[in-house]
């Protein structure tokens, strides 16, 4: 197939194939602009999975990283979930395996197990409750409030991101049992980046993702998930905002708020896996109906329970 990258014909081809396959294209906020441009829906990891569960389409082209497509497949097993680049992994999700978590649970039998959505389906199958960066604090608060719903257990394991866990500890006052996982992209944002950008843009608000270093969060006005950042940008009176997350979000923020200025806290905050998906690969995925992401029934059932529990308590 010889179609020029980014050309109209490539976009038209995608439109045509989408119709033919009865497909919908879901795109994470960190994807390349050329992918965001052809999205049926852009959003954070959970928003996209929920949209997948609701759609009437038979095929879902998931433009994000592997755990996100897996989560969509867990929520809608009767649909075909495709990844245009199936090797797009989240390095943080790969920092803990189901075996690691089983061992941690054996060491801490009195702990409720909370896991970030950035985990594999096998790890989710070992959780009591899943959470996202939007609701992690509410999930932990709900567990503290109603221990009886968790067999009276009074400790909480929180995996895999130690910095998100730190953030939740500070917000809830509850000491958590943590794992040594981090996001290699968000830890590239340093306190000196925030200080420098504040100097350049003294009237700007600073918002950062809770996966950032605690020393970065301490310098920000707020720590928010990507969907909450989008909401903040719309609602704030501020005309300038410094963004401490993966740089891809800025494309969407500019589209949604043409009257405001957005500055990346650090140009180094790039997630290479989020940039693997291209329009060409989307055409290929729709033509070949590949690569399908599927979770075995046994894992899916158990992983689903942890997601349902999250939706039930927050």
Q: Under the rule (CB under 6 A), what is the footprint of ligand SF4?
A: 65, 90-92, 118, 183-186, 211, 246, 271, 273-274
From the CB of 272, what's the least distance to ligand SF4, in Å?
A: 8
Q: Which partner in ligand 13P, ligand SF4, none is near 226 (CB below 5 to 8 A by kind)?
A: ligand 13P
List the beta bridge partners of residue 242: 206, 263
Q: Which partner in ligand 13P, ligand SF4, none is near 91 (CB below 5 to 8 A by kind)?
A: ligand SF4
Q: Which partner in ligand SF4, ligand 13P, none is near 278 (CB below 5 to 8 A by kind)?
A: none
* Residue 169 or 246 with smaller CB distance to ligand SF4: 246
Residue 119 interacting with ligand 13P (CB under 6 A)? no
Q: Which partner in ligand 13P, ligand SF4, none is near 310 (CB below 5 to 8 A by kind)?
A: none
Residue 71 interacting with ligand 13P (CB under 6 A)? no
* Residue 57 or 245 with smaller CB distance to ligand SF4: 245
Q: What residues contact 160, with CB distance under 8 A and at least 6 apart?
A: 92, 93, 95, 96, 115, 116, 118, 119, 123, 179, 181
* Residue 104 or 183 with smaller CB distance to ligand 13P: 183
Sign of CA dihedral 295, 107, 169, 249: negative
> Which two three-digit tokens encode residue 82?
């495709």
Place of tokens 């049992």: 177
* Residue 187 or 238 with smaller CB distance to ligand 13P: 187
> Which two three-digit tokens encode residue 133?
């960066």
From the CB of 183, what's the least distance to ligand 13P, in Å?
A: 5
Per-position DSSP letters for 76-94, written without gaps between them = -TTSEEE-SSTT---TTGG
What is the C-alpha end-to-end distance of the chain, expressed in Å?
Answer: 47
Distance CA 243, CA 250 (A): 8
Distance CA 243, CA 8 (A): 31
Distance CA 69, CA 58 (A): 15
* Residue 10 or 266 with smaller CB distance to ligand SF4: 266
From the CB of 124, what's the least distance to ligand 13P, in Å?
A: 15
From the CB of 263, what's the least distance to ligand 13P, in Å?
A: 19
Distance CA 280, CA 285 (A): 9
Residue 128 interacting with ligand 13P (CB under 6 A)? no
Residue 211 interacting with ligand 13P (CB under 6 A)? yes
From the CB of 66, what's the least distance to ligand SF4, in Å?
A: 9
Residue 133 interacting with ligand 13P (CB under 6 A)? yes
From the CB of 312, what's the least distance to ligand SF4, in Å?
A: 25
* Residue 70 or 211 with smaller CB distance to ligand 13P: 211
Strands of the sheet with 111-116, listed across from one edge? 129-131, 111-116, 155-159, 177-178
> Which two three-digit tokens encode residue 307?
């997601």
Determine the distance from the C-alpha atom of residue 166 to the mean position of all C-alpha atoms in its chain, rounded to a whole number. 18
From the CB of 96, what's the least distance to ligand SF4, in Å?
A: 13
Q: For the chain, what is the largest distance between any 2 Cα atoms, rounded to a whole number of angstroms?
A: 62
Place of tokens 């755990």: 67
Residue 45 interacting with ligand 13P (CB under 6 A)? yes
Residue 132 interacting with ligand 13P (CB under 6 A)? yes
Do the Cβ atoms of 280 and 100 come closer than 8 Å? no
Tell me which residues touch ligand 13P (CB under 6 A).
29, 44-45, 118, 132-133, 183, 211, 225-226
């Amino acid at each position: 197939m010889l179609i020029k990258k980014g050309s109209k014909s490539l976009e038209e081809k995608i439109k045509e194939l989408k119709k033919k396959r009865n497909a919908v294209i879901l795109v994470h906020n960190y994807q390349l602009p050329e992918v965001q441009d052809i999205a049926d829906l852009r959003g954070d990891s959970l928003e996209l999975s929920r949209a997948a569960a609701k759609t009437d389409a038979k095929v879902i082209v998931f433009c994000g990283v592997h755990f996100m497509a897996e989560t969509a497949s867990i929520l809608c097993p009767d649909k075909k979930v495709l990844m245009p680049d199936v090797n797009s992994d989240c390095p943080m999700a790969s920092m803990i395996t189901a075996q690691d978590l089983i061992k941690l649970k054996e060491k801490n039998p009195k702990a409720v197990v909370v896991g970030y959505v950035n985990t594999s389906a096998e790890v989710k199958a070992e959780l009591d409750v899943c959470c996202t960066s939007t609701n992690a604090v509410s999930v932990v608060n709900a567990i503290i409030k109603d221990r009886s719903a968790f067999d009276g257990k009074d400790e909480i394991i929180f995996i895999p991101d130690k910095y998100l866990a730190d953030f939740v500890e500070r917000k809830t006052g509850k000491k958590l049992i943590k794992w040594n996982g981090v996001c290699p992209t968000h830890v590239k944002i340093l306190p000196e980046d925030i200080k420098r950008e504040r100097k350049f843009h003294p009237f700007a608000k600073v918002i950062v993702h809770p996966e950032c270093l605690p020393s970065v969060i301490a310098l920000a006005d707020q720590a928010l998930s990507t969907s909450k950042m989008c909401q903040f940008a719309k609602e704030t009176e501020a005309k300038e905002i410094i963004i401490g997350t993966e740089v891809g979000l800025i494309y969407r923020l500019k589209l949604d708020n043409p009257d405001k200025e957005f500055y990346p806290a650090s140009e180094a905050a790039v997630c290479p896996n989020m940039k693997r998906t291209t329009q060409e690969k989307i055409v290929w995925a729709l033509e070949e109906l590949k690569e399908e992401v599927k979770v075995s029934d046994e894992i899916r059932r158990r992983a689903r329970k942890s997601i349902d529990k999250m939706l039930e308590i927050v």
